[in-house]
């Protein structure tokens, strides 16, 4: 039986999207050896772990989230030996490695599906969700795909529909089948035996659907809109969380099986991506001490403009429901508009907004995920329709999320071809001209850069138990000010943020030292016990 020292509580996890991090072989696509070459940079940030988006063998219709072999590396990223070297080199630097696994569906090019679709009597005939059509030939129910249209696709070989919550080439696994579950747990053990430190489980909340394929209920006009998609997606018309398309209670039992596998190893972390109608509340249900997941990933702040109301609603909803579970916060990821683009077009305002977002995120009670380039303040790149790669954006165009704009190559060197990302004449997505002046080498040499601010703050967070592990208490504040305390074993910090692009004032409560911690505070001045915050200013105080 393994142990778990809970290293992940309060940890900071750096998400790397391998296609866009660093290209080592001049083919225009990032790869594992490219990541290895930048591990010293990742270590210098002061993060605790790396979350690697999928690098497994795949036809890349959804850029790795359509897996055709769970146990092999796709050749565009390298080899299994390259991954072993990456793991060794990361561990040598004190960095843990978390793999992004997709265990709710596979690619239609996976051998399991090829066999399953051949006929209704083969050994894997029920490894996926198959259903007969209605008498009129239409799909068996009203379930919709997140990528638009019906969640059912007709297969002429079986003369049945198969379920897909995403692209038609991503058939849903039948996790009611115990043989499928054993294959998944065996896959988990394959990577855990190699020495990885945990899994980020993609869209794990849609792992199980109602076996009777009952229609999802319809959202009525008086219901609030879902928090994870806009009205341009027809799925926003249906109730999904704990409805029939997504069965939470049965998924919890399945997660307990995975938790049992993790418990057989030492210090393993399971984090789930949990979407749904009311994400921050739904996510809390997936994490509990001793069962389900160690932590659930909240989209409460991700891809949104930071406002006082947003922060208070997200944090208070989570704290009210989380119990003995543990949440993971993020401002951005590969599926969303970059955080720096959620406000303004002026570089000065964007820089201040990025600083405030950094200070807020890294002060919340939970684990934190940072997305590559966030530490540079990269805005979302503008991508022409001709250059778009993401199937979701193409399908939803022109009302797309511009996910491609958050996936463009990382800028390393200002005065180098392709900003130092690749020696290729063309990269898989264009290097953004707006990113080049924000390149790593420029910010390395600028003491006031966002990159160096992240390094200072991350070093402070790691050394401050109140920020990593402490309780949180929201204070009543005026106007656009957000304030809360973090407390741990008698140590208390007061964290105050101006979420507006205008000057705001805050009166420091009695008992607090009216001298902010200068290394970690920004855009403020003290007038007695009054803090005058400039645009997106913030400050930290000790009692």
> What is the mean predicted confidence (pLDDT) over 256-281?
92
| Residue reference for tokens 């074993």 | 489
471 is catalytic: no
311 and 415 housed in the same domain: yes
Asked whether the predicted pLDDT for residue 227 surpasses 80, the reply is no
- The residue from 427, 461, 495 where one domain ends is 461
262 and 374 housed in the same domain: yes
Phi, psi for 150 (deg, rounded to 5): -65, 150
Count the domains in the chain.
2
Q: Residues 60-112: pLDDT tens digits?
A: 999 999 999 999 999 999 999 999 999 999 999 999 999 999 999 999 999 99
Q: Residues 422-435: pLDDT tens digits?
A: 999 999 999 999 99
Instruction: Count CA within 13 A, CB hemisphere, residue 8.
Output: 29
Q: Residues 370-394: pLDDT tens digits?
A: 999 999 999 999 999 999 999 988 9
Domain at 484, CATH number: 2.60.40.1180
User: Are the CB atoms for 355 and 536 separated by under 8 Å?
Assistant: yes
202 is catalytic: yes
User: Are the CB atoms for 179 and 260 separated by under 8 Å?
Assistant: no
319 and 403 housed in the same domain: yes
In a domain? residue 494: yes
Q: Residues 139-166: pLDDT tens digits?
A: 999 999 988 899 999 999 999 999 999 9
**For position 5, what pLDDT does the model report?**
84
Q: How far apart are the first and last CA of the chain?
A: 43
- The residue from 414, 442, 461 where one domain ends is 461
In a domain? residue 319: yes
Q: What is the DSSP string of 368-425?
A: EEEETTGGGTPPPPP--GGG---HHHHHHTTS---SGGGSSPPP--TTSGGGGS-SSS
79 and 190 housed in the same domain: yes
In a domain? residue 131: no
**For position 254, what pLDDT does the model report?**
96
**For position 242, what pLDDT does the model report?**
63
**Orientation of helix 450-462 relative to helix 347-361, angle to 10°:** 10
**For position 397, what pLDDT does the model report?**
85
265 and 318 housed in the same domain: yes
495 and 531 housed in the same domain: yes
At residue 236 the predicted structure's pLDDT band, cuts being 50, 70 and 90, is: confident
Lowest mean pLDDT among 37-46, 170-179, 399-408: 399-408
> Which among 100, 153, 197, 202 is annotated as catalytic?
202
* CA nearest to 78, candidates 110, 39, 35, 38: 35
448 and 492 housed in the same domain: no
Percent of the chain whose predicted confidence (pLDDT) is above 70: 97
447 and 479 housed in the same domain: no
In a domain? residue 140: no
Distance CA 536, CA 526 (A): 16
| Residue reference for tokens 């039986």 | 1
Distance CA 415, CA 234 (A): 45
Mean pLDDT of the chain: 94
**For position 349, what pLDDT does the model report?**
85
User: Are the CB atoms for 12 and 368 separated by under 8 Å?
Assistant: yes
User: Are the CB atoms for 184 and 103 separated by under 8 Å?
Assistant: yes
**For position 144, what pLDDT does the model report?**
93
Distance CA 500, CA 532 (A): 13
204, two tokens: 């794990």
Domain at 319, CATH number: 3.20.20.80
Distance CA 210, CA 202 (A): 20
Q: Which domain holds residue 289?
A: 12-104+178-208+246-461
**For position 248, what pLDDT does the model report?**
76
- The residue from 461, 490, 515 where one domain ends is 461
In a domain? residue 23: yes
Work out the widest C-alpha separation in the chain, in whole angstroms.
80
The β-bridge relationship of strands 96-101 and 49-52 is parallel
259 and 184 housed in the same domain: yes
The β-bridge relationship of strands 471-474 and 481-488 is antiparallel
434 and 476 housed in the same domain: no
Query: Mapping DSSP to helix (H, G, I), strand (E, B) and coil, where does residue 508 land?
Result: coil
| Residue reference for tokens 């051949």 | 118
User: Are the CB atoms for 20 and 414 separated by under 8 Å?
Assistant: no
In a domain? residue 169: no
Q: Is 45 exposed, middle or buried (0-12, 13-18, 19+ CB in 10 A)?
A: middle
432 and 480 housed in the same domain: no
pTM of the prediction?
A: 0.96
507 and 431 housed in the same domain: no
* CA nearest to 214, candidates 167, 261, 246, 179: 246
> Which among 23, 74, 273, 393 is annotated as catalytic?
273
């Amino acid at each position: 039986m393994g142990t778990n020292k809970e290293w992940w509580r309060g940890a900071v996890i750096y998400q790397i999207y391998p296609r866009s991090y660093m290209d080592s072989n001049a083919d225009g696509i990032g790869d594992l050896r490219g990541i290895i070459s930048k591990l010293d940079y990742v270590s210098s940030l002061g993060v605790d772990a790396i979350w690697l988006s999928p690098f497994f063998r795949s036809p890349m219709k959804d850029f790795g989230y359509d897996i055709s072999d769970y146990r092999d590396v796709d050749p565009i990223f390298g080899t299994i030996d390259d991954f072993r070297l990456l793991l060794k080199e990361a561990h040598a630097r004190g960095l843990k490695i978390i793999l992004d696994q997709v265990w709710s569906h596979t690619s239609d090019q996976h051998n399991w599906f090829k066999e399953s679709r051949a006929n209704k009597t083969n050994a894997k005939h029920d490894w996926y969700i198959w259903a007969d059509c209605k008498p009129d030939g239409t799909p068996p129910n009203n379930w919709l795909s997140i990528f638009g249209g019906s969640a059912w696709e007709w297969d002429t070989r079986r003369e049945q529909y198969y379920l897909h919550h995403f692209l038609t080439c991503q058939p849903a696994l039948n996790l009611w089948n115990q043989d499928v579950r054993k294959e998944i747990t065996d896959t988990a053990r394959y990577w855990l035996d190699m020495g990885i430190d945990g899994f980020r489980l993609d869209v794990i909340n849609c792992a199980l659907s109602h076996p009777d394929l009952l229609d999802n209920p319809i959202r009525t006009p008086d219901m609030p809109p879902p928090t994870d998609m806009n009205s341009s997606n027809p799925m926003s018309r249906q109730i999904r969380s704990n409805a029939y398309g997504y069965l939470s209670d049965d998924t919890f039992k399945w997660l307990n099986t995975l938790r049992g596998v993790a418990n057989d190893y030492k210090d393993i972390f399971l984090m789930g991506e949990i979407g749904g109608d009311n994400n921050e509340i739904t996510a809390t249900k997936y994490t509990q001490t001793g069962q389900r997941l160690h932590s659930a990933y909240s989209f409460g702040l991700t891809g949104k403009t930071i406002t006082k109301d947003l922060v208070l609603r997200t944090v208070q909803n989570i704290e009210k429901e989380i119990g003995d579970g543990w949440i993971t916060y993020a401002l951005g990821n590969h599926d969303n508009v970059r955080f720096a683009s959620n406000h303004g077009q002026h570089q000065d305002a964007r820089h201040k907004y990025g600083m405030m977002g950094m200070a807020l995120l890294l002060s919340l009670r939970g684990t934190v995920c940072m997305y590559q380039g966030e530490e540079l303040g990269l805005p979302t790149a503008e991508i022409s329709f001709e250059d778009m790669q993401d199937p979701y954006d193409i399908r939803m165009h022109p009302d797309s999320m511009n996910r491609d704009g958050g996936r463009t190559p990382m800028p390393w060197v200002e005065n180098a071809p392709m900003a130092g990302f690749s020696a290729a004449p063309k990269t898989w997505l264009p290097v953004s001209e707006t990113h080049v002046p924000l390149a790593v080498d420029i910010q390395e040499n600028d003491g006031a850069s966002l990159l160096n601010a992240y390094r200072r703050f991350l070093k402070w967070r790691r050394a401050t138990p109140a920020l990593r592990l402490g309780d949180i208490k929201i204070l009543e504040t005026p106007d656009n000010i957000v304030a809360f305390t973090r407390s741990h074993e008698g140590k208390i910090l007061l964290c105050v943020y101006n979420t507006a692009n205008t000057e705001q004032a805050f009166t420091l409560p009695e008992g607090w030292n009216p001298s902010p911690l200068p290394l970690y505070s920004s855009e403020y001045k003290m007038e007695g016990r009054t803090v005058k915050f400039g645009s997106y200013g913030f400050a930290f105080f000790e009692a």
